[in-house]
Chains A and B, each alone.
Chain A
Amino acid sequence: MLRASAVCEAAGVPSSTLVCEGFLPQATAVSMGLGLPNIPVAMVPGHTNVQSKDELRANVLRVTLDQVISNLTSTPAVAGERGEPEPQSIVFKGGYSEVNRFFYEQSWSDGLPIVPPTRARIDEFLRQVDLDPDHSIATLLPEQRAATIWSIAVNGVMAGCRPEYMPILVALVEALADPAYGVEHSGNSPGSDTLIILNGPITRDLGFNYTQGVLRDGFMPNTSIGRFWRLFLRNVAGFLLHKNDKGTFGNTWRVVMPENEDVLASIGWPTVGVDMGNPAGSNSVTIARYTGGNLLVSVSGDVYKDMLPYLADAVVRIISWQLMFCVGQGMGKLRPLVLLPPILAETMARAGVTKEKFKQYLFDHARLPASQFSRILRDWTQKPTWDLALEVKNGRIPEFFHESDDPDRLVPMVWRPEDYMVAVTGDPLRNNAYVFAHNGLRGYPVSALIRHYKGADTAAAAK
Chain B
Amino acid sequence: MSAQESDGYYEVYWPRAPRQGKLKPLARRHETLAGKKIALLWDYLFRGDEVFDAIKEEFTKRFPEVTFVDWKEFGNTHGTDERKIVASLPERFKEMGVTAAISGMGC
Most chain A CB within 10 A, of B12, B48, B100, is at B12
A320 at the interface (CB under 8 A from B): no
Instruction: Check A14 against B7 for contact (C-beta < 8 Å).
Output: no
A18 to B77: give the CA distance in the assembly, Å.
13
A94 at the interface (CB under 8 A from B): yes
Q: Which of A14, A49, A53 contacts B29 (CB 8 A)?
A: A14
Q: Using known A-B contacts A13-B101, A73-B32, A329-B76, determine if residue A41 contacts B12 with beta carbons closer than 8 Å.
A: no
A7 to B33: give the CA distance in the assembly, Å.
20
Q: Which of A8, A57, A75, A97 contacts B54 (CB 8 A)?
A: A57
A431 to B73: give the CA distance in the assembly, Å.
52
Q: B24 contacts which chain A residues (CB < 8 A)? A: 9-10, 34-36
From A66, which residue of chain B is reached at the shortest CB distance?
B58
User: What DSSP secondary structure best describes chain A's contact surface?
Assistant: mixed
From A43, which residue of chain B is reached at the shortest CB distance?
B106
Instruction: Check B26 against A73 for contact (C-beta < 8 Å).
Output: no
Q: B8 contacts which chain A residues (CB < 8 A)? A: 95-96, 116
Q: Using known A-B contacts A20-B105, A35-B22, determine if residue A10 contacts B29 with beta carbons closer than 8 Å.
A: no
A225 to B21: give the CA distance in the assembly, Å.
28
Q: Using known A-B contacts A68-B102, A74-B29, A331-B80, determine if residue A99 contacts B12 with beta carbons closer than 8 Å.
A: yes
Interface residues of B in 65-97 (CB under 8 A from A): 76-80, 82-83, 86-87, 89-90, 93
Instruction: Check A144 against B10 for contact (C-beta < 8 Å).
Output: no
Q: In whole Å, how far is A170's beta carbon from the nearest beta carbon of chain B?
A: 14
B103 at the interface (CB under 8 A from A): yes
Instruction: Check B30 against A154 for contact (C-beta < 8 Å).
Output: no
Q: In whole Å, how far is A326's beta carbon from the nearest beta carbon of chain B?
A: 11
Interface residues of B in 30-69 (CB under 8 A from A): 30-33, 36, 38-39, 41, 43-51, 54-55, 58, 62
From B40, which residue of chain A is reached at the shortest CB distance?
A18
User: Tally of A-B residue pairs with Cβ under 8 A?
Assistant: 277
Number of interface residues of A (CB under 8 A): 103
Instruction: Check B17 against A73 for contact (C-beta < 8 Å).
Output: no
Q: B22 contacts which chain A residues (CB < 8 A)? A: 35
Most chain B CB within 10 A, of A116, A148, A236, is at A116
Q: B12 contacts which chain A residues (CB < 8 A)? A: 90-93, 99, 103, 116-118
Q: In whole Å, how far is A124's beta carbon from the nearest beta carbon of chain B?
A: 13
A108 to B16: give the CA distance in the assembly, Å.
8
Q: Using known A-B contacts A11-B93, A60-B55, determine if residue A118 contacts B11 with beta carbons closer than 8 Å.
A: yes
A235 to B19: give the CA distance in the assembly, Å.
11
Q: A35 contacts which chain B residues (CB < 8 A)? A: 21-24
Q: Which of B7, B20, B83 contacts A145 (CB 8 A)?
A: B20
A257 to B64: give the CA distance in the assembly, Å.
61
Q: B43 contacts which chain A residues (CB < 8 A)? A: 1
A146 at the interface (CB under 8 A from B): yes
Instruction: Check B11 against A90 for contact (C-beta < 8 Å).
Output: yes
Q: Which 4 A-B pairs have the closest CB atoms?
A: A95-B7, A18-B104, A11-B90, A20-B107
In the complex, given contacts A13-B101, A18-B48, A38-B26, what are 9 additional A-B residue pairs having Cβ atoms less than 8 angstroms apart?
A: A14-B26, A36-B24, A60-B55, A68-B102, A85-B14, A95-B10, A139-B20, A146-B18, A331-B79
User: Chain A residues in contact with chain B, CB under 8 A?
Assistant: 1-5, 7-20, 22-23, 26-27, 33-41, 44, 47-49, 53, 56-57, 60-61, 64-65, 68-69, 72-76, 78, 81, 84-99, 103, 108, 116-119, 122, 136, 139, 143-148, 150-151, 154-155, 158, 179, 231, 235-236, 328-333, 382-385, 441
